Amino acid sequence: MDMEGDLFTFHLPTKILFGLGAVGNLGAELDERRLRSALVVTDIGVREAGLLARVEEQLRAYGIEYEVYDGVVPNPTVESIEAGLPLAVGKEALIALGGGSSIDTAKALNVLKAHGGRVLDWEGNETVPGPCGPLVAIPTTAGTGSEVTFIAQVSVPERRQKVPIVSRYLAPDLAIVDPELTRSLPPRLTAATGMDALAHAVEAATSIAAQPLADLLAFRAIELINEFLPRAVRNGADMEAREGMALASLLAGMAFNNGWVALAHAIAHALGGLYDLPHGLCCALALPEAMEFNLGARPEKYLKIARLLGEETAAAGVDRIRGLRRELGLPSRLGELGVEEADLNRIVGLALADGSILFNPREVTAEELRELICRML
């Protein structure tokens, strides 16, 4: 048996409600917990897509008082998070409705509401001293897995950096994963967020924190993504594909919350912080290069991943991911996203300082990282 070590832990404090129409249980779930007021944390796009109305319907039906903060921005900044605080104070529950940005914003708001201070006071690992209030996460994309993780990523524009807040107290109490809510997600966003989920699964299964339970989830997520991501991108109304991707994202989130992410995410965080680029796109670019760099450190795992992708060798598995990226119409070079060679040292420095790199199965020097990123330009 392929055990990574003698001891492992698996932590999943979040109750999960999954399935088409699951959002129709929101009111009853809040009612059961005797929660009488809530702040819905979302963005304008979600509101315009008519998804907020689905949540409001539930809150009204159960007589739950609510307000809406729709000021969430992609790569949520300290400022955009703190702007929601006056609305959050005094509400019994927070409801995050949206992609990773909305969920991460609500997680950070929940910390501020419970423990005070400013967002950056809570930067880093296990700085949050105790439980926050009830938080419900309702994802409208299939990729981040943030509905079940302990992490919120915050952008600090003055530092051109993304920093994490990591604490088990950030985990939502309830995740309502309703694939129906991803039906109107445009193809490019579907593709990019799906590649984020793939990066979570591949990295969780190959990091130094990899463990049997996380592997199980990660491997299944990889199979689902390989089968359903192209279909979901081609036809957003293919609900079997949407369901497959919503499940894959959830499984990959559970996997990386316990098995962690590694080099591809360290690079993606550096690029996202410096250029304010969508996280999924950065992952799609970094993942194959990071895998290629790591192949020798985890040969049996990369072979297994390749087989799940329908290939016979580890190297062919990496190429399959490059092929998938092309098939989905995503960029394959950093230059297409406006990343410049002049920033190379900065990207390398930020990636080396990112916590994810500590979990990489192969140690990375600055010189190796510079070469790797050069190949992505």
> Which of 30/202 has CB closer to Fe ion?
202
What's the min distance (Å) between Cβ of 341 and Fe ion?
25
> Which of 55/198 has CB closer to Fe ion?
198
Q: What gap in Å lies between CA 176 and CA 172, rounded to an integer?
A: 10
What's the min distance (Å) between Cβ of 201 and Fe ion?
10
Stretch that binds Fe ion, among 164-172, 189-197, 224-232, 358-366 (CB under 5 A): 189-197
- Report yes or no: 124 and 165 within 8 Å, Cβ to Cβ: yes
> Which of 29/196 has CB closer to Fe ion?
196
What's the min distance (Å) between Cβ of 145 and Fe ion?
8
> Among 196, 243, 292, 311, which residue sits at the site for Fe ion (rule: CB under 5 A)?
196
Stretch that binds Fe ion, among 40-48, 102-110, 192-200, 364-372 (CB under 5 A): 192-200
What's the min distance (Å) between Cβ of 39 and Fe ion?
25
What's the min distance (Å) between Cβ of 327 and Fe ion?
21
| Residue 104 binds Fe ion (CB under 5 A) | no
> Which of 180/196 has CB closer to Fe ion?
196
What's the min distance (Å) between Cβ of 203 and Fe ion?
9
> Which residues, 6+ apart, have CB-to-CB distance to 19 below 8 Å?
177, 178, 179, 243
> Which of 196/343 has CB closer to Fe ion?
196
Q: What gap in Å lies between CA 169 and CA 55, rounded to an integer?
A: 24
Report in angstroms the alpha-carbon separations of 6 from 208, 213, 220, 255, 299.
Answer: 13, 13, 23, 18, 20
Chain position carrying tokens 């929660």: 35
Total residues interacting with Fe ion, rule: CB under 5 A: 1
- Report yes or no: 170 and 71 within 8 Å, Cβ to Cβ: no
> Which of 104/196 has CB closer to Fe ion?
196
> Which of 112/201 has CB closer to Fe ion?
201
Report in angstroms the alpha-carbon separations of 103 from 97, 114, 115, 241.
Answer: 7, 17, 18, 23
Q: Which of residues 284-313 bind Fe ion (CB under 5 A)?
A: none
Burial 154-186, CB ≥16 within 10 A → b, else e: bbbeeeebbbbbbbebbbbbbbbbbbbbbbebe
Q: In this chain, which residue has its C-beta nearest to Fe ion? A: 196
Over the Cα atoms of the chain, what is R_g? 19
> Which of 167/193 has CB closer to Fe ion?
193
95 burial type by CB count under 10 A (0-12 exposed, 13-18 middle, 19+ buried): buried
Q: What gap in Å lies between CA 289 and CA 291, rounded to an integer?
A: 5
Stretch that binds Fe ion, among 60-68, 160-168, 195-203, 206-214 (CB under 5 A): 195-203
> Which residues, 6+ apart, have CB-to-CB distance to 348 below 8 Å?
270, 366, 369, 370, 373
What's the min distance (Å) between Cβ of 106 and Fe ion?
17
What's the min distance (Å) between Cβ of 267 and Fe ion?
11
Where do contacts with Fe ion occur on this chain (CB under 5 A)? 196
